[in-house]
Structure formats: structure tokens, C-alpha cells
Amino acid sequence: MNRSDRDRPILGALPDPQGTRFGAFVTTADSCAVRIYGEDGRALATHAMKPLGAEHTGYFEARVEGVRAGALYRFVLGERELPDPYARWLPHGVHGPAMVVAGAFDWKHGHGVGRPLEEQILYELHVGTFTPEGTYDAARAHLRELAELGVTTLQLMPIAAFPGARGWGYDGVALYAPLAAYGPPDALRRFIDEAHGLGLGVLLDVVYNHFGPAGNYLSAYAPEYFSHDHRTAWGDAPNFAHPAMRRYVLDNARYWLEELRFDGLRLDATHAIFDPSPRHVLLELRELADRIASPGARKVLIAEDERNEPAVVESLAMDAIWADDFHHHVHVTLTGERDGYYAAYHPGAADLARTLERGWFYEGQPFAPTGSPRGKSARGLPARAFVYCIQNHDQIGNRALGERLTALTSLDAYCAASALLLLLPMTPLLFMGQEWAATSPFLYFTDHDEELGHLVSAGRRDEFKSFAAFANPDARAHIPDPQALETFQRSQLRWEERNEEPHRRVLQLYRELLALRRTDPVFRRGARERLRAEVSNGLLVVRLWHEADVRLVMINFDGAPAPIPPRAIHQFELMWTSGARPHEAREPHEKELAPWTAAVWRGTCATPG
């Protein structure tokens, strides 16, 4: 902590062995106090907080002897009693009192893993549906299995507290308080620490572009937290031009990265972060992450950004961007769907090959859903800057029925697409259960109060009016209700599946592909400048090389056999296919690649490019 940090007023609750210091930023009242509660919910005492004066206008502090970790409290602003927006835990929900949380923890495995992004295999998971119990402790029991599979980095969907006990987390309102339903803060620390002990990094999905519609008390403390010039779908946008909001978000990032020891952050919808400041908050976040990182252990920052804008990496210093063009091309090729934004993508290998060579497809062409140009050339970005996937929480959960890709295409096609994803040099992301072709859907689920919940349920069905399959009101009636407990329960993984066929076979395929990516001299050192993609005889052919070693990845994204280019047959050795184990692979004299099949050849060439 540098001197400027030490000199700043505290916010929230900071315990020590003798008591606790409390701090709040308030511009809506002339007085502020902290009220302490017992476990039975009765108020025990109220302590006035002192304003810090002109140098720190709006800040109030108090030190209360005898109040230690585990105590419950609320702030009292004038006559109004409110939860602490800097609360480290809200065990009774976002409207209840906060708990004083000790910062000390017996960490056993250091500050993080520090693996370069080029070596990472991301695995996105939702804590509440990852296991039937839906807790950090239950998820911890599966960490070793993921490490042995070949996953390197977990990416938790947002865990900041939101109303109710179940939801995706993108309507968080208390950004410092891990959701109580998943377990106490120390259970989260145990999860992260054990992951580190197994060599797994842990990233956290954070939402800094908006707050949820219920339980956000920041405006009650200071309206300056939000901008009236910019709006989001949830209300006024966070006001990053004001020091209060800027500090709230940057301190929050520090909390997750330093105090909780996450290895990095995935930033939701960075295209929706409005910051008119001379120095963008994302750039300041990068500088913060670099200051607190251990030597040689960079904190990873990944942006979800729909603009195909290379400046997110080149100017704002993010490490990578979710590049959805790859997913969309794969999806329309495997399913034939053209509803919604899929109308902007054409099935087949040609556009997919262009996407692989260019990083993303749209580089300024008109984008069908908007009619406006989208994107810029990504020529200068390295392969690791593109996060590719064939499914994620958005692409599954934003479907009316929450179907995974395996419910929409054949298993052969799914396995071929999986091979392409995992053998490219871009940063691959898996969604929980993908490795065994899980059958459980991932639906949109919420737990709002009755009034808001009714609006959400009705809005969810109206959202799909323009889709051909749901144009009829009777069809929309079958869209699962987000508020129903059953919708949440149906989204839970069924871990027993992975021991049954065909799931066991798919799991073995993922193990093979991840081992190939990890151990093969070409796949291990993949780079965009050593990648060429083309269509030959209807096959997608991706050529990768390192020095004289060459690998050809061929995919038949069609329902009919396709001729294999003669060069592959005569000059290369077949090393793996998605349709058979390597020792059972077709003999090289066979001249066709079966439908919906991926195959890998190896060879050498003096001029491989």
C-alpha cells in the first residue's frame, strides 16, 4: 500500500484486535452514524461518526472499541438506515445488515499461479449450478478433476451480492460482498487457495458498466456515483468522472485481486463503460493490477467487448477480448440458425477461415443487426488476445430454452468443433460441463421480489417475439419462467453423466485434445503469424507451424465425405482424428474425410509458411 492509499479515508469496516473503524461517503445527509446489531437482529448501540472536514468533504469515520469481526452493522444517514455499499459480506441479503469481516486468512499456496495467458485454458463456471449444493465448498471438491483434465484457469461468473439466492450475477449491487448463498468469504478463500495449490488460476467476472435494478443503495449515499448524461438498460450509468465511483470500482478490483487473491478479472461489457475522463478507468485498472501483482505473475484482465475494437488491447491495455465472431460462425455452420445476430453470419468454412486468419470477421463491414460499420483490423494483436469459445453462459443462457450446442447438432459435429477450438493458438474458453457434453440446459434464472419478478418473467417471453419459433404466444408460454425454482434446478450440472456413454467418450476426447495442445511442439507454441487457414475441397484446412514442424488441422463441416488434399496424404502422417482413437485412425491411403470430422496431420517442411 502506498502513502496515498494510507492517507485516504477508509470506507466500509476495518477490524483490528481491539475494535473496528467504520467509514462512509455521504452527500445526502449532514450526519452519519453506525448502528451495531446482535445476532438476534436487535440494535445494540448507535455510534456517531465524525465528518473529516473540508479536506475530505463527505467522508465520515468512527472507531468503535469492542466491535470485532462477526458483528453486524448498518449506517444511519440522518434518519435513514441503510446497508453499507462497501460491505464485505451481507449474510442476510442485500437489504440486511453487513457483517464485519476479518481480512486475515491462513493462505497456504501463495498469491496466485501467474501462468502466461498463452498457456491458459479458461473454464467458465457458475457457482450456484456447478454442483447440486451450489457452494464454494462443493465446487472445491471438483478442482483436482479439472486440473487433471488439463484446464488451467477457472473463470467464476459474477459473485457480487444481488437480490435473492439465485441468479447469473449480472445484476449485482453490493460489489464487495460475495453472495451469501454460495458460502461465507472464508469458503471463497479456501476455494481460491486450493485451486492455486493444484496449479489452477482463478479469474472473476466483474460488472462495472451497470448495477442491478434492486438493492443498489449508492445513490442514497451520494447521487454523484451515477451520471445523468448516460443511461443503461438498468438506469443511470456509473459516473467514472467522479472520484467516488472511480474509487468504488478501483478499490473493488484491488479487493478481489489483492485481498482475495484472484489471478485476474473478466470485465463485463466494456463497450458500455462510459468514461469521459482524460485517463480511462480501464487503463487505471491495468496500472493498479500491475502494481499489486507479484513479480512474474501478471494479473490478467479480459474484456467482453462487442465492438471488435483492437484499441481495447492496444490502448486500454487489456490482455484479451471475448471474440464472438468465431463462436457465431461455428454456431451457424453447425446448426443452420440465422435468427437474431446470427443473421450477420454465413454457414460454411469460407467465412470461418477468414475469421481465423483475421482474428475476428468484422473489420468495418456493415453489421446486419445495426446496419452500421462494425470493427477494425486486428492485425497487430497476438493470438492470446482473442478468447474463443463454442459456447458460454451468454450463448446458451440467452436462448429461450437454454440449449447447449450438443442439443442443436450431432455429437460428431460437436467433437469436430471442439478440436478446432482447442488446437488453435487463440485463448480457448470452455463452459462448465462442455468437456463431457453435459445435457443440462443453462437457463436464465432469477430470484427477485414478486413485483420485479413478474416484470422479468413477462419480459423474458416478450424478448423472443421476433424469433420464428416463438412468434406464436402459445409457443412463448413454454419458455421457462426465470423466477421458478425449477428453472434454476434444471440448470445444475449432472456430474454422474461423465461416467456414462457417450459422455465418457467426449470427456476422453477433451483429455486428448488438451494433452495435444500442452505437449505438441507446434500446438504448444502457436502464434497468429504461424497460422494459415483456407478452404480446400470443401474442407477447412488450418496450417500451423513452428520452425520446420508443421501441423494440418482439417475439419469437414459438411454432411458428405470430402476429398483430402493429396499433399496431406503423401507428405504428412495422420496423428489424430475426432472419429477414432489415434491407433485406430484411417490409413493414409484413404482419400476422404468423413462428415463432421476433424483430423490432424503432422510433418516437416523447410518453408512451412
Q: Is residue 333 part of a domain?
A: no
Q: In this predicted model, what pLDDT tens digit does every residue of 403-439 receive, in sequence order? A: 999 999 999 999 999 999 999 999 999 999 999 999 9
Long-range contact set of residues 457-463: C-beta below 8 Å, sequence gap at least 24: 457/481, 457/482, 457/483
Q: Is residue 461 part of a domain?
A: yes
Based on the domain organization, do 506 and 553 belong to the same domain? no
Based on the domain organization, do 461 and 395 belong to the same domain? yes
Q: Is residue 559 part of a domain?
A: yes
Based on the domain organization, do 13 and 87 belong to the same domain? yes
The domain boundary, picked from 519, 547, 563, lies at 519
How far is residue 170's CA from residue 45's CA, in Å, rounded to a whole number? 35
How far is residue 292's CA from residue 285's CA, in Å, rounded to a whole number? 11
Give the domain CATH number at 537. Answer: 2.60.40.1180
Based on the domain organization, do 60 and 91 belong to the same domain? yes
Q: Which H or E element spans position 63?
A: strand 59-65
* Full residue range of the structural domain in which residue 28 is found: 3-99
The domain boundary, picked from 519, 551, 573, lies at 519
Based on the domain organization, do 489 and 438 belong to the same domain? yes
Q: In this predicted model, what pLDDT tens digit does every residue of 343-357 receive, in sequence order? A: 999 999 999 999 999
Extract the C-alpha cell encoding 99: 457483517
Q: In this predicted model, what pLDDT tens digit does every residue of 120-179 receive, in sequence order? A: 999 999 999 999 999 999 999 999 999 999 999 999 999 999 999 999 999 999 999 999
Give the domain CATH number at 94. Answer: 2.60.40.10
How far is residue 226's CA from residue 230's CA, in Å, rounded to a whole number? 9
pLDDT value of position 467? 81
**Radius of gyration for the alpha carbons in the chain, expressed in angstroms and rounded:** 26
Q: Which single residue is written with the C-alpha cell 468504488?
A: 248
Q: Is the pLDDT of residue 582 over 50?
A: no
Based on the domain organization, do 552 and 589 belong to the same domain? yes
Based on the domain organization, do 150 and 175 belong to the same domain? yes
**What is the average pLDDT score of the chain?**
94
Based on the domain organization, do 545 and 510 belong to the same domain? no
CA angle 253/254/259 to nearest 5° reads 120
Number of domains in the chain: 3
Q: In this predicted model, what pLDDT tens digit does every residue of 275-315 receive, in sequence order? A: 999 999 999 999 999 999 988 889 999 999 999 999 999 99
How far is residue 291's CA from residue 258's CA, in Å, rounded to a whole number? 10
Residues 121, 122, 123, 126: what is their CA dihedral angle, to the nearest 10 degrees? 170
Q: In this predicted model, what pLDDT tens digit does every residue of 26-61 receive, in sequence order? A: 999 999 999 999 988 899 999 999 999 888 999 999
Extract the C-alpha cell encoding 600: 490432424
pTM over the 0.75 mark: yes
Based on the domain organization, do 202 and 135 belong to the same domain? yes
The domain boundary, picked from 519, 551, 568, lies at 519
Q: Among 31-45, 178-192, 578-592, which stretch is predicted with the lowest mean pLDDT?
A: 578-592
Q: Is the pLDDT of residue 588 over 50?
A: no
pLDDT value of position 3? 40
How far is residue 309's CA from residue 271's CA, in Å, rounded to a whole number? 9
Q: Is residue 20 part of a domain?
A: yes
Give the domain CATH number at 403. Answer: 3.20.20.80
Q: Is residue 242 part of a domain?
A: no
Q: Is residue 137 part of a domain?
A: yes
How far is residue 62's CA from residue 20's CA, in Å, rounded to a whole number? 8
Beta carbons within 10 angstroms of residue 163's beta carbon: 23
Based on the domain organization, do 191 and 149 belong to the same domain? yes
Q: Is residue 471 part of a domain?
A: yes
The mean pLDDT of 545-568, rounded to a whole number, is 94
Q: Is residue 338 part of a domain?
A: no
Residue 49: alpha-carbon gap to chain centroid: 39
How far is residue 534's CA from residue 266's CA, in Å, rounded to a whole number? 32
Based on the domain organization, do 474 and 438 belong to the same domain? yes
How far is residue 369's CA from residue 376's CA, in Å, rounded to a whole number? 17
Query: Which stretches within 535-575 are classed as H helix?
Result: 566-571
In our burial notation (b when 16+ CB lie closer than 10 A, e otherwise), range 207-227 reads bbbbbbbbbbbbebbbebbbb
pLDDT value of position 472? 83
Based on the domain organization, do 189 and 167 belong to the same domain? yes
Active site residues: 268, 304
